[in-house]
Structure 1
Amino acid sequence: MGKTYGYIRVSSKDQNIARQLAALEQFHLKKRCIFVDKMSGKDFNRPSYLRLMKKIREGDLIIIKSIDRLGRNYDEIIEQWRYITKERKADIRVLDMPLLDTTLSKDILGTFIADLVLQVLSFCAHEERSNIKQRQKEGIAAARKRGVQFGRRPIVLPDEFSNIVQAFESKQISEEEAIHQLCMSRTSFYKYKKAFHQ
């Protein structure tokens, strides 16, 4: 009998994993057997996922809440599924989709149905990711039309900046005086002085 592992993924550090953890509770997994990534599902270059892949052996079982927790890239989900089930000879159980449970039916029909469902769901996950990106793009474009500015606001330099820089460069005032008069840090002073001359 192989080991059972849980895999959890959320897209960002501030998202909650409680719902996925609750779904795994029925399997009484030890904490060290649950692998959590808090990052995008665009690819599989995730620290906890990669650690899990090093651990799994033939006959082990990986449990995930839903297929999009595994990933959102259609081709890569299919490739990882093949890698886990065919190369590593481990099983996968997707709790939200009972047909995606390789422990249930190892015959040709069972494998065919699981592969078919996987292809459809992986495609849906991929499309959803594309739709999210499109919605973000449209949202940014609409916000820009309304005059919303993105990124840092440009620093507005004091009116006397050029006079103070000239006075400093001609040694009429010290560096300390120039910085004090402009109310900025030494780093900022030299940064904006450099930009001023370009």
Structure 2
Amino acid sequence: MGDTFYGYIRVSSKDQNEARQIHAMQEFGVTKENMVIEKQSGKDFQQPLYQKLVDLMHPGDVLVIKSIDRLGRNYTEILEQWAYLTKKRNIAVVVLDMPLLDTRQGRDLTGTLIADIVLQLLSYVAETERQNIRQRQAEGIAAAKKRGVHFGRKKIEMPDLFNVLATEYMRGTLSSRDAAAQLGISGQTFLRRIREKSSHTI
């Protein structure tokens, strides 16, 4: 067994490019009966049909996909799946959108090596971009805070009665629960404001 071409197509339920992917697979030499089409919503990444297809494949078979993101939702998953297919299962992978990601050519060394290097490079670029985005977000938040922009839930303004009840609570003549009930807030909020008040008066 082996050397059979299988095509895996994953589209969102709203996606209309299913026909284009089928055509691209057929142009490459994948027969319609060897194609699996998985439809799912954008937020989900369940791949039961993909798993069934891979389980059916034999060493030497070729898995054809349109783009590398069909293998996972991030590059960590993609790298894991790539290693599983090419190293553990000895299945060749062809990515139509990226001809360098083709482990059929010179499978003994060159093709697989080049594909692995390209995939590692893509993973590095994607991870670096994620880190850059996080850094830009952190810098943006820091700059906004300097300008006086506040994040999170808006602080509940305390009525004048708070100071009176806080004093009674501090003297031990009123419980935090009763004080909070009179102010219409939770006991946790009342105690947090007491701590804030104490830290400001130190």
Give the alignment's TM-score, normalised by structure 2.
0.55
* Alpha-carbon contact 2:101-2:119 (below 8 Å) kept: yes
Percent identity of equivalent pairs? 52
CA contact (8 A) 1:41 1:69 kept: no
Query: Residue 59 of structure 2 corresponds to which residue in structure 1?
Result: 58
- Worse-superposed segment, 97-106 or 21-30: 21-30
Shift of residue 69, structure 1, vs aligned partner: 2.5
Q: Quote the residue 1:92 is aligned against.
A: 93
Query: The residue matched to 1:5 in structure 2 has which SS?
Result: strand
- Aligned mates of 2:128, 2:43 — CA distance in 1: 12
Q: Do the aligned partners of 2:102 and 2:112 also contact (CA within 8 Å) in 1?
A: no
1-side partners of 2:23 and 2:29: how far apart?
11
Alignment coverage as a number of residue pairs? 130
The 1-side partners of 2:44 and 2:81 are apart by 10
Residues 39-50 of structure 1 correspond to what in structure 2 (within 5 A)?
A: 39=40, 45-50=46-51
Distance 1:126 1:50, change over 3 A: farther
Structure 2: state its 5+ residue gaps: 134-202
**2:6 pairs with 1:15:** no
Higher relative contact order (CA 8 A, sep 6+): 1
Distance 1:87 1:118, change over 3 A: same
Contact 1:44 1:76 in 2 (8 A): no
Cα distance in 2, alignment partners of residues 68 and 96 from structure 1: 11
Q: Flag structure 1 segments of 5+ consecutive residues without an equivalent.
A: 132-198
SS in 2 for 1:68: helix
Query: How far apart in 2 are the matches of 1:15 and 1:126?
Result: 27
Deviations 1:99-133 (A, max 9, x none): 110001224443332111112334566789998xx
**Which residue matches 1:121?**
122
The residue matched to 1:99 in structure 2 has which SS?
Answer: coil
TM-score (norm 1): 0.56
The residue aligned with 2:70 is 69
Q: Which moved more, 1:24-33 or 1:93-102?
A: 24-33
Cα pair 1:43 1:73 within 8 Å, conserved: no
Pair 1:13–1:41, CA change in 2 (3 A): closer
Please provide the CA RMSD for this pair.
2.9
Residue identity opposite 2:14 in structure 1? D
Which residue matches 2:81? 80
Larger radius of gyration: 2
Q: Distance in 2 between matches of 1:31 and 1:128?
A: 37
Q: 1:83 to 1:58 in 2, by over 3 A?
A: same
Question: Quick check: 1:59–1:91 contact (8 Å CA) kept in 2?
Answer: yes
Q: Tell me, in whole angstroms, the C-alpha distance in 2 between the residues paired with 1:15 and 1:120.
A: 29
Letter paired with 1:8: I
